[in-house]
Structure 1
Amino acid sequence: MSKKIAVLVNEDTMQRCSCGGCLKAFMNKADSFERYGDEDIELFGFTHSGGDLEKKLASFKKNGVTTIHLSTCTRGKNDQYESIAERCAEEFDVVGYTHGGAVSKEGKVAIVLEARSEHD
């Protein structure tokens, strides 16, 4: 059985980005996705964190997502980065970046949180 993962991208950035960096890292199990090693992983959702986030999270939970990766651009450009990570961690494991290093060029360390509730 594969581990289901979702990626939340910064809404404003998604308006002009092809999301190639995030997808390449996922497909190659590089950068933040290296942690899965030989595990079978499935990208269940790839969307932005704007709009009705609660509805998106409910859909992820209903469909068995266990981990949410916040995109590297969310870490760098979204003032709500920490609160989005905290909200997601109420039900999911959270990895606060997708590609590049766990520490940004500006020195911001990616948040990594374990879910505060049991996975179903």
Structure 2
Amino acid sequence: MFILQKKKEKCGEELYKTIVKLNIRKQCEVMTVDSLKFPFEKKIEKPLDIVFFDPPFRLNYLKKAFSLIVEKELITEDSFICTEVEKKKEVEEMFEGWKLIKSKIAGQSRYFLLQKK
């Protein structure tokens, strides 16, 4: 099961249309909620295998999101985190306690694949 979250209703609707086109409605749920405030721990029955973070740049949501998934025990040491940040953003402190598996630059973004240490 994939849980896909968007904060804005319009973005959630577009995401849902894509899911319908791909014929994967039974495997997906789209939620339009504020991911930093929604109690996902009540929705998720077991730790997540993969988490994708695509936060808005310049709003510094990523560090808080990392803290929340650990604090609420939504992942294990075997879970993978995929995320993107601005290419020039300093991330060493933000990713402290995480093992870098892979990093790639594309355009103005840097992409990371991480696991807990």
TM-score (norm 1): 0.44
More helix by share: 1
More strand by share: 2
Q: Which has the larger radius of gyration?
A: 2
Q: Which has the higher contact order (CA 8 A, sep 6+)?
A: 1
TM-score (norm 2): 0.44
